[in-house]
A and B are shown apart, each in its own frame.
Chain A
């Protein structure tokens, strides 16, 4: 089966007052129908920009994008604005991080939902409203028929995110891009939302791109995961594979810094240092200033994204030899026993 979405060597550059900023620097991945792909990384690594580029939501005047984004064979980067508008909210939908600010405060949620329908379907208002109600019930808003006339500020954060999800799925898109959908919510609500997303994904058959900085979320929900660092992909594999055999020092750092319930530690392990400035990234491997395993070559040569031996799909970009990687990975997993794919 052909992939639903093919991102090939995507590069996005912003022109800022301080100079050009390469926010996405050669990102490639595929999304299959019904698949959940996670994109994980620190703030500013380019994961959100990648998805905004897919949707064409960057500011046109200051953004240049190269590469290809093939949606069912159609290159979205070269599509007309009209075509993009047809696709957005219809075939590809996106939900955002902060549900408190992502809904228009002066329109009822009913109106915003029906708007989403009427933009893409030639139906009457009543039919659109009925559809909106359907979705509200699907996302499990209690007493949906009463709440459909309420305003966003009358809902809690978790409820609002459900409404956002309803709005995104209302036209049965093939791809849902979820940009850190639970980051702004408390842990309990987070679990509920993730549960909901999994359910809906099965019911609707939608593919999901889950952007997150939280490996826990990835473990919960994703089939495949892309690890990004400083506008580049540093590791890409199936979830089980990456949790059992992580093959990049950054991924090790991410896993090591997860809080654990079943171990007593004095301090959370951090990855030392700060993410590099994208205006002036380091030479060679961008992670080398913070990497405990830096070698001379890391400072000169950008490590290419290459397969990791093992028989399954696993790409990584690191100069370390495979044997060292296996060894270090095993050491790490021992110390974080208890966390991982279950």
Chain B
């Protein structure tokens, strides 16, 4: 495969590069790979005193405990659906915002809007969910609007069909501004001469967006999408816990909330580690697949 000669010549040619990356790899080796043996806690019955290495081995018991839950399929389904819809609606939103902001001519207006849109990102989740619960309740503001237009007052958080929309919609509200920052930076990095040349050639704004801007930030978009797909199974529990209730469990209950509730009954590191490992394996497979497709289809990929 790789010959010794190739290795030597590569080192000679790139010695400064390797020197540069040395502290980086050292960091990962020590602080990430060093503790990685701990992942086997998923296969053990963790005893704090014995430590991870000496705790008794139970093989796949923890996994089977998870798989045999009555709700297993529902949890997987809800987690995946929530992730997919979140990507479908939530991923393009910051991109679109960045493009729209890019079209604004007035610099001060642009900066003003940009600054305001990222503010919700800093409000803690508890407060945001408190606002959502208030607005969607039967006497809340949204129902006031609905009644005004002739509809019937309903508590929206008690409707399983509405859960995903509320979760994703509020997520977009909170994160679209912050998420657009990275795309704005990427747009700033596009060579202006390309635009000038295009205008000379008579291209309108639509054309410019599709033929210059989007291709210019395509690598960023692709990489971020790959990373996003690699987070498919890992939907956090905090926001769901704050918004769900027994009436919406059938669509709202996801893997992390189940593990959380289980942890309240019996704080079992091994169990949550096993579920985490299960999630990670699936996530990683998705990432590798996405990366491979991307490498074939475009020039951008992680490796």
Q: Do A and B come from one complex?
A: no
> A-contacting residues of B (Cβ < 8 Å)?
none
